[in-house]
Structure 1
Amino acid sequence: MDPSLTRRHLFLSILFPFALGYYLSYLARVVNAVLAPDLVAELSLGADTLGLLTASYFFTFAAAQLPLGILLDRYSPRRIESLLLLVAAAGALLFALGDSAWDLIIGRGLIGLGVSACLMAAFKTFTLWFKPEKLPLLNGIILASGGVGAITATAPVQAALSLTDWRGVFLLLAGLLLLSSVIIFVLVPDHTEERPQETLREQLRGIGTIFRDRFFWMIAPLTMLSQSSFISIQSLWAGPWLQDIGGLERTAMADTLLLVAAAMVAGFLAMGTLAERLARIGVRPILLSAAGMLTFQCIQLLIILGPAAAWLSPVWIGFGFFGTTGIVQYAVLSQHYPRHLAGRVNTAMNLLVFVSIFVLQYAIGAIINLWPQVGPGQYPAVAYQMAFGFALMLQAGAFSWFVREYRRGRAVTR
């Protein structure tokens, strides 16, 4: 840690502002899992349109990543994030006031663009102020704040619907995003370290170096597909599955999603702490993450097979806990590459993750929509089995690739 920061300053000036931003980012990301029945009822949406609407967040989020990496390595992370959060606030306002599916698609796309820096700006700032060995733990803390956002998007949002409607939820979100922008701009310090004076061409060449590196491509497919499957299902399709297949009423569904989100918080904190401690005895974080992602695949198989009612909550809690393990690879990448590339390497990984989320979230909806509804807005078990099975098949292939590349030793690991 930089000696100029006391523990109090650390919390108030760096962790709290970025944690608030990422909290709101994740709240906006997953809130549609609870609000989906209201959106479907008011706008008469099919599963494919609902998937596209929710996935538009991920499309604009992904599109911002490479330019964002250049900006974060060149300019102040706090200025970039505070500016983009204003865009997110405008998107939430449009979503709240929209009267058509396209109004909501555009509004959600603006939200995705606006929160695209929330995590990456934090990661970049951490690389400036802290030692590399501290990054897994710090990344885990900031990610846990996103988990708290996911918790808020479940039972608390469901409870809020007794006081307002989905439009009121997004009006409140717009105000909070505006507040977060101001807090980050005012409180977060700019690091005084001199950065390499790279031209735009040199920065673009740095991105090319990352995308040509075997180490990056050893990690990328498995991390990309594990995270995209987790977020695609958690942020939308978990809610409909719990109602259609799990047989839960809406309140019980929201309560189960809350448990999933709480498990995600625990997973982020546990994996960050465990990665740091195991590294001290020579266990590489890359192996911890890979083992966790394999466990995550096994849990998805249980969901596809249809857990017994008594095991419904434990299996989905495991889904939330082990779904976080892929995120450890971001710290692996930050430790492997020079610090001046930190913004670009993390956003390069994020680009792949969020492009695949956009595609996969829509694809799951399209696959489910191939089967006729068995009730208003309800689909049969085989529809979910085929859709979730498609996501699992992709992850299994990526895990095989990772094992092969790691054993061949084609990249230097740390």
Structure 2
Amino acid sequence: MNVGLPNWYRTMRCREHLRSGQLVRFHDQIQLSIKTNRVLPSGRTAAILTFGTFQTRFASAAHGSRLIACVFLPFALGYYLAYLFRTINGLISGRLSADAGLGSADLGLITSVYFLVLAAAQIPIGVLLDRYGPRRVQSALLLVAAAGAGLFATSTDFISLLVGRAMIGLGVAASLTAGLKAIVLWFPRERVALLSGYMIMLGSLGAVTATAPAEQLLAWISWQQLFVLLAAATAATAVLIYFLVPDRAISLSTTSNPGTLKDVFQDRRFWRIAPLSATCVGSAWSLQALWAAPWLTDVEGLDRASLVRQLFIMSIVLCGAALLFGTTLHRIRRRGVTTEAVLVATAVLFIAAELALILRAPLPSIMPWSAVAIVGAATVISFAVIADYFPPELVGRANGALNVLHFGWAFLAQYATGLIVAQWSAEHGHASVLAYQVAFGLNVAVQIAAFVWFALPWLRFLTSWIRTFAFGPVCDSDALEPVDMHEQAIRPIPAEDDAEW
């Protein structure tokens, strides 16, 4: 069939393929040779834009747009709702306490139980995602979140509010991991990191919505009606994901999950980074989700409009930090800066910001609170460090294990802050400034301890270097004892004839 055809055409026909694996149609090549009237050498065939390749690229672009609309955006919407639920209590904390008669400890527990349930659900949800896929798991859990939001909206006592908030936490527990799983299943590998960063950024817009936009709604409706709207939106998102997202077969691994997860928890490097990452990121989440608003009201004395404006700025900083970390971290590493060094710099920034708040440094309050928001997006850095520590088949489980500690510490920090603040009596309707300083100070003390634990290998190296610089290198003859000293101490003992050896 190819007899008499030029070599460049035969080369093209062999090398030009559609994405489906089929060869470019024969008449497309004939039309090309007639219209262009060019004879190309072998090796330049890939540059020819035939009708078939144009049709393929157009179909590929359309396919990518459909995936964005049918896969990426529905899961991004689910993560957006999760972030909105996470931070909305900071805005309504005053009204919630007044309507339900809650103290600081009660408010801290109701808000922080969200993180406790998230932490407990991470590993089981990972197993469910591997077995049933993100579409089924996410849609089912979002219905639980919708029911929890409805219960929260109709609750008037502490117990029902606690149960409703716990149901919300369980319902959104898979929002991020299900979205990341869907990205891995449906999109090319080279697009996974970029789309993951976009999903985190779009999800953090929920924190933006929980400030000024939600405050505008609360001028017209009550917080109970707001949660009814959130329940309806969550249920609609669950239905959207179930019917819009296409299904894809999940290949079940035959490896032993408990063994590999055990390897994660037995790795010393994991326990070196985990305390620092958990105490910093978890504390940043707990502060922005709840205690930033009471601090700004009770300590800084901001009115309602100024409070909402500052919370809005913090949420914008959170979104920008998530996008910045996701897009520039690889460039920083390309310049020779390790991800561990970036994590250390972020931890130092966070501790310095908290100390500035505790010591009432003469700075605009938006500066340290913006640093708190930046650290809330530092999970991108921690996951990058984990990717350096573990092989690809263990990275997912290691990230899940680290997330358990993130959410667990967020629960402890948020609840403990409420317990500590409740130990001081209110002054003129506001919590004591000293109570906040003690609560934040204990948190900083734990973070400094985690920082020292993380930096121990560096401190040992620095100590060894200083000792060498001050006293000179250690001589081998001084470091090793002469063997003949021991030989002189050895005395031969006569052996008996019937001795057993």
TM-score (norm 1): 0.90
Instruction: Tell me how far 1:126 sits from its aligned partner.
Output: 3.7
Q: Quick one: structure 1 residues 65 and 339, their matched pair in 2 at CA, closer, same or farther if it must change by over 3 Å?
A: same
Q: Take 2:233 and 2:361, find their aligned partners in 1: how far apart are those partners?
A: 38
Stretch deviating more after TM superposition (343-352 or 237-246)? 343-352
1:110-149 equivalent positions in 2, closer than 5 A: 110-128=167-185, 137-149=194-206
Q: Does 1:403 align with 2:448?
A: no
Please say which of residues 78-87 and 314-323 is displaced more in the overlay. Answer: 314-323
1:281-312, Cα deviation, whole Å (9 max, x unpaired): 4433343233222212211111112244x612
Does the 8 A contact of 1:137 with 1:269 survive in 2?
A: no
2:423 is aligned to: 370
Segment drifting more, 140-149 vs 255-264: 140-149
- Residue correspondence of structure 1 range 1-40 to structure 2 within 5 A: 6-40=63-97
Tell me, what secondary structure is at the counterpart of 1:163? coil
- Kindly report which structure 2 residues correspond to 1:354-365, keeping only aligned pairs within 5 A, or say none: 354-365=407-418
Q: Pick the aligned partner of 2:106 from 49, 59, 66.
A: 49
CA 1:131 to 1:206, structure 2 compared with 1: closer, same or farther past 3 Å?
Answer: farther
Shift of 1:243: 0.5
| Partner residue in 1 for 2:330 | 276
Q: Which moved more, 1:102-111 or 1:319-328?
A: 319-328
CA RMSD of superposed structures (Å): 2.4
Task: Assess if the C-alpha contact under 8 Å between 1:73 and 1:341 holds in 2.
Answer: no
Looking at structure 2, the residues matched to 345 and 279 of structure 1 have their Cα atoms a distance apart, in angstroms, of: 21
**CA distance in structure 1 between the partners assigned to 2:167 and 2:405 by the alignment:** 19
**Aligned twin of 1:350:** 403
* Alpha carbons of structure 1 residues 77 and 344: separation in structure 2 relative to 1, 3 Å: farther
Q: 1:412 maps to what in 2?
A: none
Q: How far has the Cα of 1:191 moved from its partner?
A: 4.9
Q: Aligned pairs, how many?
A: 403
For the 8 Å contact 2:204–2:319, the answer to whether it is kept is: yes
Tell me if the contact between 1:133 and 1:276 (Cα under 8 Å) persists in the aligned partners: no
Q: Which residue of 2 aligns with 1:77?
A: 134
Moved more, 99-108 or 277-286: 277-286
Match of 2:173, SS? coil
Given the alignment of the two structures, is residue 103 of structure 1 paired with residue 160 of structure 2, yes or no?
Answer: yes
For 2:450 and 2:320, locate their aligned partners in 1 and report how far apart those are by CA, in whole Å. 26
- Work out which of the residue numbers 202, 212, 216 in structure 1 matches 2:266: 212
CA contact (8 A) 1:51 1:362 kept: yes
In the TM superposition, residue 145 of structure 1 has moved relative to its aligned partner by 1.9
Distance 1:131 1:60, change over 3 A: same
1:384 aligns with 2:436: yes
User: SS at 2:364's partner residue?
Assistant: helix
Contact 1:218-1:405 at 8 Å conserved across structures: no
Deviations 1:200-238 (A, max 9, x none): xx2222221211122322221111111111011111110
Identity, in percent, stands at: 39
Per-residue CA deviations over 1:26-85 (Å, capped at 9, x if unaligned) read 110110111011111111111001101111111111111121122223331222111111
Q: Which stretch of the first structure deviates more once superposed, 339-348 or 353-362?
A: 339-348
- Whole-Å Cα distance in 2 between the matches of residues 133 and 388 of structure 1? 42
Question: 1:132 offset after TM fit, Å?
Answer: 7.0
The structure showing larger relative contact order (alpha-carbon pairs under 8 Å, at least 6 residues apart) is 1
**1:238 pairs with 2:292:** yes
Aligned partners of 2:340 and 2:251: how far apart in 1? 30
Range moving further from structure 2, 171-180 or 313-322: 313-322
Distance (Å, rounded) in 2 between the aligned partners of 1:84 and 1:301: 39
Query: 3-state SS of the aligned residue for 1:45?
Result: coil
CA contact (8 A) 2:116 2:411 kept: yes
The Cα shift of 1:262 comes to: 0.5
The alpha carbon displacement at 1:319 in A equals 2.2
* Aligned match of 2:54: none
Aligned residue identity for 1:253 = L
Give distance in 1, aligned partners of 2:303 and 2:409: 31
Deviation at 1:345, TM superposition (A): 2.4
1:87 is aligned to 2:144: yes
Question: Partner letter of residue 359 of structure 1?
Answer: L
Greater Cα radius of gyration, structure 1 or 2: 2
| Aligned residue in 1 for 2:383 | 330
Partner of 1:164: helix, strand, or coil? Answer: coil
Q: Does 1:151 align with 2:208?
A: yes
Structure 1 pair 26–402 and aligned structure 2 pair: CA distance change class (3 A):
same
Would you say the 8 A contact 1:127–1:339 is kept in 2? no
